Amino acid sequence: MSRAPRKDGIANREKILVAALRTLQRDVTAPMAVVAQEAGVGAGTLYRHFRDRNDLLAALQVRSISMVLALVEEILSRDLSGIDAVHEFLVRTVRHGPDLFLSYHGAPKTSDPEYLRLEKGVWDGVHEFVVHGIADGTLRADLTAHDVIIFGSLIAVPLPGVDDWPAVAGRQIDLFLAAARAG
Amino acid sequence: MSRAPRKDGIANREKILVAALRTLQRDVTAPMAVVAQEAGVGAGTLYRHFRDRNDLLAALQVRSISMVLALVEEILSRDLSGIDAVHEFLVRTVRHGPDLFLSYHGAPKTSDPEYLRLEKGVWDGVHEFVVHGIADGTLRADLTAHDVIIFGSLIAVPLPGVDDWPAVAGRQIDLFLAAARAG
DNA sequence: GCTTAAACGGACGATATTCTCCGGTATGGT
DNA sequence: ACCATACCGGAGAATATCGTCCGTTTAAGC
């Protein structure tokens, strides 16, 4: 039998992910040694948890997309009108911005199959919002899930140098919804 | 008296900028040696034209923003309605995408004063579009230059992994304009 | 408690990147 | 044509980063 995982191992993995997020969001080229230091662990520990730099970047992306998927499913479980669902999706994506690390931060998009699977889940969920919204008459008939996902991806990551991104993104969301609304 | 600049010097500087654009757009972390090779010059030549890596990145950003400013001024010189001017600005910004290298590519935003001066010029020009458009009744009264510039910045750089960005961005522009239109 | 496997830290070898230096070459001025 | 000088290429010293190894520490199972 294999033993139960050690709690210091689990805690360190978590500390590394948190530190890597903060550090690499600010600068994708930050050396691994800096990530390790920020996490308060040795370099060896970092490399034991993540085979190499790419593995760490992939883990951050998987973690991010799974957060987005969770959010999509939570919205689906409520029974909102189409336009409210899209609004919630966009607002909450922006709100999660600080916890997300996606390819737009300059890292190459991972080809991890787990990532692709989760990404497809997000796609399907948003598709459901949109179809429902067209049926219930709250969204214009030619709106697509593609439109919403592209826009969401654009505002998910703060534009460098812009203060108060939530407010700025909120304004862009309002404009987008004005265009997406039926009629 | 100083001599006229040598033409091989001027040509090499240009070759370096073109190669750096292509190479660093694809991967901001590409080593200087790769840029030099792509440009077909030696490393020494590269460093003679650009003090160091940051200087090269700054030069690319200055070049980019000045292209955008040129475009803004060209639009101002014509006498378009407000909404047409905004449309032109957005479409042409996307069309220039492949020639642009801005901080959203992962490089830190330069603090070069020349860059900031040009950026302000872009701001002022777009402000003029918008004020004019509100006055002529083609743009909604609460639209701001800020709204347009933020949106333009978002779509200027292709989202990684998206095919046919011009088409996708074009669709986002249509949605934006639907929201920006008066009435 | 005691044993044992799992996890840790940080020094270290291998590799990659940056930037400099200098012998040689092409160009502008006369 | 010839000189003076601005420019070139690429080897290589200095530095930075990656990823591994191993003696030590910590936690799980009994």
Strand partners for B181: B139
Nearest to A147 among B159, B175, B179 (CB): B175
Q: Is B175 on the interface with A (CB under 8 A)?
A: yes
pLDDT for A86 equals 98
Q: Is B129 on the interface with A (CB under 8 A)?
A: no
Which domains does chain A carry? 1-50 (1.10.10), 60-180 (1.10.357)
Amino acid at B66: S
Confidence category of residue A106, pLDDT binned at 50, 70, 90: low
Hey, what are A121's tokens? 């889940």
The per-residue b/e assignment along B34-45, b for 16 or more CB within 10 angstroms, e otherwise, is ebbebbebeeeb
pLDDT for B1 equals 65
Q: Give the residue with greater pLDDT, A103 vs B79.
A: B79
Identify all chain B residues contacting A179, using CB atoms and an 8 Å cutoff.
175-176, 178-179
- Compute the distance between CA of residue B61 and CA of residue B56 in angstroms, rounded to an integer: 9
A172 vs B147: CB contact, 8 Å cut-off?
yes
Q: Does any strand D atom come closer than 7 Å to the Cβ of B9?
A: yes
Amino acid at A179: A
Identify all chain B residues contacting A104, using CB atoms and an 8 Å cutoff.
159-160
B150 vs A159: CB contact, 8 Å cut-off?
yes
> Which of A154, A162, A177, A181 has the most B C-beta neighbours within 10 Å, making it the best mutation to test the interface with B?
A154
- What's the CA–C1' distance between B7 and D1, in Å? 21
pLDDT for A153 equals 96
pLDDT for B183 equals 78
pLDDT for B109 equals 80
pLDDT for A73 equals 98
Tens-digit pLDDT profile for residues A27-75: 899 999 999 999 999 999 999 999 999 999 999 999 999 999 999 999 9
pLDDT for A117 equals 97
pLDDT for B161 equals 85
What is the dihedral angle through the alpha carbons of B98, B173, B152, B104, rounded to the nearest 10 degrees?
Answer: -50
Closest nucleotide to B4: CA versus each C1':
C28
pTM over the 0.75 mark: yes
Instruction: Supply the DSSP string of chain B, one letter for each residue.
Output: -PPPPPHHHHHHHHHHHHHHHHHHHH-TT--HHHHHHHHT--HHHHHHHSSSHHHHHHHHHHHHHHHHHHHHHHHHHS---HHHHHHHHHHHHHHTGGG---GGGSSPPP--HHHHHHHHHHHHHHHHHHHHHHHTTSB-TT--HHHHHHHHHHHHSPPTT-S-HHHHHHHHHHHHHHHHB--
A154 vs B159: CB contact, 8 Å cut-off?
yes
Tens-digit pLDDT profile for residues A15-25: 999 999 999 99
Under-70 pLDDT residues of chain B:
1, 105-107
pLDDT for A1 equals 67
| pLDDT of A105 strictly over 80 | no
Hey, what are B92's tokens? 């042409």
